[in-house]
């Protein structure tokens, strides 16, 4: 993973920190951006590059929910289903995403490999229920009726 241009990018990141271990989160982002998820082998690569133990890397990966520990679809769809959003219809938004993406259940990837839908705790946009995060983009005030349009706009 960390060869050529990726190594140069990692070296730029490492220059910002007093210790290599401090660059763990950005290194994991680099890995996930390149491969779509963080595998056991990927964790070992990060550990070697940062001169830390694979167990430490795994502890961080399993703590943070933003790192995918298995392959996900091209579009990773996170629907907020905490109480304020549920009151505003989040469960119906989840059902609409599952129906329109072809995902059979939460956490599964659609047959075409394009979508993975999950529920998450608070996306921090309670005033715009129901918020949805698709990859790194936020969509606010999502309703079941707006799901087909949102999916059609993905590129």
What is the DSSP code string of 94-109? HHHHHHHHT--STTPB
Determine whether the annotation assigns residue 103 to a binding site. Answer: no
Give the span between the Cα atoms of 132 and 150, in whole angstroms: 10
Give the tens place of pLDDT for each residue, 5-16.
999 999 999 999
* Local confidence band at 20 (pLDDT 50, 70, 90 cut-offs): very high
pLDDT of residue 2: 94
Alpha helices per DSSP H over the chain: 4-14, 24-35, 40-50, 54-63, 83-87, 90-101, 147-152
CB 59 within 8 A of CB 52: no
Determine whether the annotation assigns residue 122 to a binding site. Answer: yes
Q: What domains are defined for the chain?
A: 4-63 (1.10.10), 75-152 (3.40.30.10)
Mean pLDDT (whole number) for 23-38: 96
Determine whether the annotation assigns residue 88 to a binding site. Answer: no
Average pLDDT, the chain: 95
- Predicted TM-score (pTM) of the model is 0.82
């Amino acid at each position: 993973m960390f060869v050529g241009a990726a190594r140069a990018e990692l070296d730029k990141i490492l220059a910002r920190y007093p210790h290599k271990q401090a660059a763990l989160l950005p290194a994991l982002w680099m890995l996930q951006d390149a491969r779509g998820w963080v595998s056991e082998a990927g964790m070992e690569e990060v550990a070697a590059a940062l001169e830390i133990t694979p167990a430490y890397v795994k502890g961080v990966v399993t703590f943070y929910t933003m790192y995918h520990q298995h392959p996900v679809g091209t579009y990773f769809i996170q629907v907020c289903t905490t109480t304020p959003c549920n009151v505003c219809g989040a469960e119906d938004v989840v059902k609409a995403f599952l129906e329109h993406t072809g995902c059979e259940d939460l956490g599964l990837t659609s047959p075409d490999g394009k979508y993975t839908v999950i529920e998450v705790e608070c996306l921090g946009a309670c005033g715009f229920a129901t918020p949805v995060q698709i990859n790194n983009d936020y969509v606010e005030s999502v309703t079941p009726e707006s799901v087909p349009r949102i999916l059609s706009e993905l590129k």
